[in-house]
């Protein structure tokens, strides 16, 4: 199962007779970074809300915004003229200093802190229950968005891993010829030396076999296939686990790098480069998997 860390969900409804909008959005992050924007009367519920969102969102840089529609807020609020005048004088001076002539100070000041005084400073339990319903609806839509994005991600990372797997047989096409080429080159070079010095031929053959065995990539291919299979098994599991998938890609990368170091063949090196390219694209996608 794959779920994206990128998500969006919203819900609108009545809370205490006022029109309220709830929005949740998130981007990828290694941990849960939660930013809340709450109306003043719900500030005392912040810790409770953070605990609940921590369970629901798991990971990601998430923003939760709860706001009243401006017309409804104005009906229940009064303007603090003293604070309004202070903001007006300061912003007017700044606008004059920078020659800003088309600045709408009125709308700007009304959005500043403490300018509007709500009639009620604290929400009652019934209002909190109504708001929780809206938050639940926003979270449900948020998670549905993550699931849909996850399906796209899952398809892409599957194709990347399958591409890496399909490269293994391509490597095998060049393996035997590579060994023969290496044997021929070494034999030719050593043959010239043997003509000029006494060399133990048996010892030479043993060293040659040892050297060629060091270039063998059979074990790396087996481990690479095993890591890719484990990746696909984890990917199709019941739970999303982006961190675990990232750890598996590190093991995949080690085997590809070792194959590249041992290849000693231009054709095989080109295939290794293609595998590395697919692996980097895979890592980029996994950075957004929950």
For residue 185, the domain's CATH number is 1.20.140
User: Is 94 inside any structural domain?
Assistant: yes
**Helices within 197-241 (DSSP H only):** 201-214, 218-235
Percent of the chain clearing pLDDT 70 (strictly above): 80
What pLDDT band is residue 16 in, cutting at 50, 70 and 90? confident
48-62, 87-101, 195-209, 253-267: lowest mean pLDDT where? 195-209
Same domain, 167 and 105: no
Same domain, 28 and 44: yes
User: Is 116 inside any structural domain?
Assistant: no
Same domain, 207 and 240: yes
User: Is 223 inside any structural domain?
Assistant: yes
User: Is 86 inside any structural domain?
Assistant: yes
Task: Please tell me the predicted confidence (pLDDT) of residue 107.
Answer: 72
Taking residues 221-230, what's their average pLDDT?
94
Q: Is residue 145's pLDDT more than 70? A: yes
The pLDDT tens digits of the residues spanning 25-61 come to 999 888 889 999 888 778 888 898 999 888 888 888 9
DSSP structure class, residue 287: T
User: Is 117 inside any structural domain?
Assistant: no
Which residue range is the domain that position 221 belongs to? 149-286
Taking residues 126-136, what's their average pLDDT?
90
Same domain, 56 and 86: no
Same domain, 82 and 70: no
Report angle CA 78, 80, 83 to the nearest 5 degrees: 155
Same domain, 218 and 128: no
Q: Residues with Cβ < 8 Å from 191, sequence gap 6 or more? A: none
User: Is 271 inside any structural domain?
Assistant: yes
Taking residues 265-281, what's their average pLDDT?
92
Same domain, 197 and 240: yes
Taking residues 107-131, what's their average pLDDT?
71
Report angle CA 68, 116, 93 to the nearest 5 degrees: 120
Same domain, 264 and 200: yes
Same domain, 57 and 102: no
Task: Please tell me the predicted confidence (pLDDT) of residue 244.
Answer: 92
Task: Please tell me the predicted confidence (pLDDT) of residue 166.
Answer: 94
Same domain, 247 and 156: yes
Task: Please tell me the predicted confidence (pLDDT) of residue 197.
Answer: 58
pTM of the model: 0.71
The pLDDT tens digits of the residues spanning 69-112 come to 755 554 555 677 778 788 888 888 877 777 776 567 777 776 67
Contact 274, 167 (CB under 8 A): yes
Give one DSSP letter per residue of 97-147, joined into a string.
HTT--S--HHHHHHTSTTSEEES-SS--HHHHHHHHHHHHHHHHHHHHHHH
Mean pLDDT in the chain? Answer: 83
Task: Please tell me the predicted confidence (pLDDT) of residue 138.
Answer: 94
Same domain, 45 and 135: yes
Percent of the chain clearing pLDDT 90 (strictly above): 38
Helix (H, G, I), strand (E, B), or coil: what is residue 184?
helix
End-to-end CA distance of the chain: 10
Looking at the structure of the chain, the number of domains it has is: 3
2-16, 65-79, 152-166: lowest mean pLDDT where? 65-79
User: Is 115 inside any structural domain?
Assistant: no
Same domain, 171 and 140: no
Q: Strands 32-37 and 60-68: what pairing?
A: parallel
User: Is 46 inside any structural domain?
Assistant: yes
Task: Please tell me the predicted confidence (pLDDT) of residue 108.
Answer: 76
């Amino acid at each position: 199962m794959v779920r994206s860390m990128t998500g969006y969900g919203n819900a609108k409804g009545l809370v205490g007779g006022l029109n309220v909008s709830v929005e949740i959005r998130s981007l990828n992050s290694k941990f849960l970074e939660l930013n809340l924007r709450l109306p003043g009367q719900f500030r005392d519920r912040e810790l409770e809300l953070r605990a609940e969102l921590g369970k629901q969102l798991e990971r990601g840089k998430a923003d939760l915004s709860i706001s009243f529609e401006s017309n409804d807020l104005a009906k229940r609020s009064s303007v603090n003229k003293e604070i309004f005048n202070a903001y007006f004088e300061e912003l007017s001076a700044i606008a004059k200093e920078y020659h800003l002539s088309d600045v709408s100070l009125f709308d700007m000041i009304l959005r500043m802190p403490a300018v509007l005084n709500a009639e009620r400073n604290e929400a009652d339990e019934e209002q909190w229950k109504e708001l929780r319903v809206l938050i639940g609806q926003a979270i449900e839509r948020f998670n549905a968005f993550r699931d849909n994005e996850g399906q796209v991600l899952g398809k892409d990372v599957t194709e990347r891993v399958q591409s890496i797997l399909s490269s293994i047989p391509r490597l095998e096409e060049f393996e035997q010829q590579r060994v023969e080429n290496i044997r021929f080159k070494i034999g030719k070079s050593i043959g010239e030396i043997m003509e000029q010095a006494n060399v133990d031929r048996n010892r030479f053959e043993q060293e040659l076999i040892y050297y060629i065995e060091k270039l063998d990539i059979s074990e790396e291919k087996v481990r690479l296939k095993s890591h890719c299979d484990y990746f696909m098994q984890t990917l199709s599991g019941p739970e999303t686990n982006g961190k675990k998938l990232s750890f598996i890609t590190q093991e995949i990368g080690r085997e590809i790098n070792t194959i590249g170091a041992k290849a000693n063949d231009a054709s095989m090196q080109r295939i290794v480069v293609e595998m590395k390219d697919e692996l980097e694209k895979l890592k980029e996608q996994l950075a957004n998997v929950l």
